[in-house]
Every structure is written in structure tokens, then in C-alpha cells.
Chains A and B, each alone.
Chain A
Amino acid sequence: MGSVRAEFIKLRRSLSWAVVVLLPLAAVGSGGGNTALSGEPLADGWHTLWLRVVVFYGLFPLAVGVAALASLVWRAEHEGGNRNALMARPVSGLEVAVGKFAALAALTAAMQGVLVAGTVVAGKAVYGLPGSLPAEYLLVSVLIVVACLPVAALQSGLSMLMRSFGAPVAVGLLGAGFGVLLVALRADALAAAVPYSLLSRATQVGTGVFADPGPITAEGAADAAGLAAAALVLTAVAVAGTAAVLERRDVA
């Protein structure tokens, strides 16, 4: 799709890459760093390290990071005559929305990749953990990326509507707080309809924190599949909504 390829060209030299690299490394640094400073060993090896890095990261930094990426991806469209040019081309609102979403999805996946790589490096180099990060956390990482998609799609829509860089990020922060609240209250039905809750829940899979039962079982895998399905449905709704607004809205 032409709009996707065009969006990837726009990512060159983008500030987005700084968020992609720095935010997960900060999470690894703060999660792993606290443990190192306390001088206590990692009680359960890789599992404890993953828990300390990822759970806090999933409470709000990840959602805020995705929101910041969405603001950055849309920022250039709000500059100069770019919005006029974007909408005066023979390209549909859906193509524009999908192009932006695809760029955000790629950035989000790259961010998770940095988080995993950072965790592995910290586990080996700082704690000298044996082996490597268990494969189940790679699957959880895929689930986290999938759970980020509806947040990315929703934040993309917000950043399309708002010229301000900070306003959609603030909405992302509030959304993250609300999402965590729903997860903590175990309001599962409502949480399944709130993108930020899905993201937060996905980062807890296998950790035993909040609503999570701990080690991944067959039942847990079914829950994860349900979470991924809900994420994909919400993503489709958010992308379609963004496209519809782009088609209908006048360019101010």
C-alpha cells in the first residue's frame, strides 16, 4: 500500500526513534536498577527481572510512549501546508489512517524489541543470570505489541484531531490511569473494551501481579487469545473511526 510506504519514508530521522530506544531502556534501567541498588538478588531469576521491568512499564510509561509516538507521527502533518497537501491528494482517508497506524505499529513493535533486548542484556551483564529470557516472555511480548495496537490506533486518531503535541499525550496518561484502575478492580468486561486496559493487562501476563494468576496455563493462554482478539477488534474500530473523521472533517 502506497500510504504505508510513504509513512515509512517519513520515519527517517524522526524523533520517534529516540522514544523507541530511550523509553524501554529507561524502564529496564529503573526496574533493574532498583534491584541492583537494593543489593538483593533476583529471587526468581529471569521471572523476577521481567516482572520488575515490565509491570511498572505497563502501568503508564508504555501507554504514554505510544501516545508520544502518535503525536510525533502526526506532528509533521500539522505543520505548514502538509495537512492541505495530505488531503488534496487522490488518497482516501482510510489509506491515510492505515498508513499512520502501520508506522505506529512498527514503532511500537520496535520499542518492545528494545525492551526485550535491554532486559536480556541487563539479565546477563548486570545479574549474570543463567540461560536467557524464557521463550514464554517472547510470546508475551508479541501479546504486548498486539495490545498496544488499539492504543496506537486511538492515539493516532486523537493526534490527527489535535494540533497540540501534549494534549493527546495527556489523554494517553489519563487513559492509562483509567485502564489500570479497571484492571485492578477486575472489571474484566469493561476492561476488554478499553484499549489502555488491554495494554496494561498484557504487560502483566505471567507475572502474578494484579489480576494475573501467575504462571501461564492453558486457561491463561485462552485469556491471552481473547485479549488479542479484543485488541484487534478495537484497533479496527479506531482505524475506521479515524478514516471516517478524516473523510468528513474540513481542513481548517
Chain B
Amino acid sequence: MSTIITTHSLTKSYGDRTVVDGLDLRVPEGCVYGFVGPNGAGKSTTMKMLLSLVRPTRGEVRVMGRRMDRSTRRELLGSIGSLIETPPAYAHLTGAENMRLVQRLLRLGDGRVDRAVRTVRLQDHLDKRVRAYSLGMKQRLGIAMALAREPRLLVLDEPANGLDPAGIDEMRHLIKRLADDGITVMVSSHLLDEVDRTATVLGILGGGRLLFQGTRDELFSRSVPDVLIDTSEPERAAAATEPWGGTLDEGTVRVPGLDHPATAEVVARLVDARVDVYGVRREDRSLEDVFMDLTRGRGL
């Protein structure tokens, strides 16, 4: 599968503070790329660099096979729709006037504008001033304004931020519809749950660094859940497994980061110590747990 966005060692520093640190992103064409990380992880800055709104301190961005910089951005941006940080739109104008403004600016035909508005299902609200729109409607209008140019790539920065559960669900469906139409969607969120069900590829950012990039299944397979051991003498068992980082957790011994051979070693050690082993299991972990571990710096 070809990549639509590639970055090499993409870095942004403000003085001594590095907010994005050596990112090597690979966004496959046609995917929904979930760009996830806590607030302040560097997602918006990265997305701004992808659009050349912010110039990198180091590294480069390639979009659709071409280097994205101030000399090329105007050409490339013709195929990229975006919604960065808060939704755009002129509050004193109606939705229709905002769309007409984009139409005039980009010299687009009526058909494109109508399609964009219908895609976000805003056709019945165009005569209202944007000031009277709900946040969800503003987000949808912002996306319609980005879609009117019929982009190959759509970059959405936290589009579900501040929406109620129904709005979040609607946004998910919209992203799915856009992806079904063949648009590559890069969507960021500070909550994995918001993009987990729509993203086909995940990029997880923490402290400005790319902690993981791949599919949901790859993320699961590369994570090593803690081993939980039930024994006759939990305290002695915890002491015996201390060299592996074992701790007592509500009567169960918890040992992090063990692969299969190390698990066998730990069990053998307990048997040697004459501790009765009742059960050994891996902790059940949700994708959210894996994400939280990653972004708290525990690693996979």
C-alpha cells in the first residue's frame, strides 16, 4: 500500500523545548489514521507541520510523494482538506455564506459545495448564522468547508473534542463514510476510544515522540500484559519474584514485562521455594490500558 504522508525525523523545538521529536510517520493511502496521544503530546503541532502551517526545526514532510514546504504547499493544499484545533467559520455569516466564501475563494462549482454539505448532513441548517450553531454543527461545517475542494487527504485535529456522545458517534460515522469514499483521513484525539473503532492504523504520540505506529492488532500483540500468580503464600511469593519486579497486589503476585521463558522461570523459582502455585494468567487488558501504559511512559 502506498503512503500518502511520510515524515523523516520530524522535529519542532521552541527554544530549549522540543514539542515534536524525530517523528517518522507513515500514513498509508486510503486508511483512517488515528493519531492519538494525551493533550500536549504534540499532535496539533505535528499536523500543522504536515500542512506547512508551522515549519519544522528539523526533518521533512512528504505528502503525496512530494516534499511539503512553503514553496510547494499551495499546490499540495489543493488536495488536502483540514480542520485544525477549533472549527473555522465566520460566526456573523450563515452556513451558506461560509460555504459560498470557500466556493468563491477556491473557484469551485456548485456541485462540489452541495456534495460537501450533504456529506456532513448540514443541508437543512445552512440559513442559520454560525453563531447559533451547536459545536457539532460547527465541526461539520468546518469539515464541509474542507471537503468542498474534494481532497485526497483530510487532516482532522480533535474533531470530536467537546462533542456529546451522540455527536462523537455521528463524527465516527462521518469519518467512516469519508473513508468509504476513498479519502485518507488522519484524525487526532486524546482519547483512544474516540478513534479506536474507526482507525485502521494507529499512531500513538507521547511527549512529542512516536511510541507506536501500526494496526490495532499489532499494538495488542506487541504489548506484554502483566503476569498474575495466585499462590498459597502471596507474601513469600512476592519476595521470591522480587528480582523480576514482582509485587503484591490484593493477594495476587503481579509481575510485569515477562515473556514466556521468563514466566516459566518465575514459576520454577516459586516451586523451588516450595510455594504452592494455584494459577498463572495474563492480565486482561483493553486497548485503552495498553495506550495508557504507553503514554505514561511504561512502554509496550
Contact = CB atoms under 8 A, between A and B. Distances in A.
Given A2-B104, A90-B149, A81 B86 contact: yes
B104 A81 contact: no
A85 interface: yes
A5 B101 CA distance: 8
Contact of A2 (B74, B88, B106): B106
B84 A92 contact: no
Contact of B84 (A2, A81, A247, A250): A81
B52 to A, nearest CB: 9
A97 to B, nearest CB: 14
Interface stretch (B2-10, B89-97, B271-279): B89-97
B149 A76 contact: no
Given A91-B105, A91-B106, A10 B87 contact: no
Interface string B129-164: 000000000000010011001000000000000000
A10 B107 contact: no
Contacts of B117: none
A90 B104 contact: no
Nearest to A247: B70
Nearest to A8: B104
A83 to B, nearest CB: 8
B74 A88 contact: no
A142 to B, nearest CB: 28
Interface residues of A, number: 27
B89 A84 contact: no
A91 B74 contact: yes
Contact of A90 (B54, B77, B92): B77
A90 B74 contact: yes
Given A89-B77, A90-B106, A14 B97 contact: no
B187 to A, nearest CB: 15
A76 B92 contact: yes
Contacts of A88: 51, 53, 77, 80, 82, 84
Interface in B100-136: 100-102, 104-107
Contacts of B70: 247-248
B82 A10 contact: no
A16 to B, nearest CB: 11
Contacts of A128: none
Contacts of B142: 81, 85
Contacts of B90: 10, 76, 82
A247 B92 CA distance: 27
Given A6-B104, A10-B93, A12-B97, A81 B88 contact: yes
B41 interface: no
Contacts of A84: 48, 53, 82, 84-85, 88
Nearest to B76: A90
Contact of A6 (B76, B78, B87, B105): B105
Interface of B: 48, 51, 53-55, 70, 74-78, 80, 82-93, 97, 100-102, 104-107, 142, 145-146, 149
Given A6-B102, A91-B105, 10 more contacts: A2-B107, A9-B100, A10-B93, A82-B89, A84-B82, A84-B85, A85-B146, A90-B74, A90-B76, A90-B78
27 contacts: A9-B100, A9-B101, A10-B90, A10-B93, A10-B101, A12-B92, A13-B93, A76-B90, A76-B91, A79-B91, A80-B91, A82-B89, A82-B90, A84-B82, A85-B145, A86-B88, A89-B102, A89-B106, A89-B149, A90-B74, A90-B76, A90-B77, A90-B106, A90-B149, A91-B105, A91-B106, A250-B48
The 10 closest A-B pairs by CB, nearest first: A85-B88, A90-B78, A84-B84, A6-B105, A5-B104, A251-B53, A81-B88, A80-B86, A90-B77, A81-B86
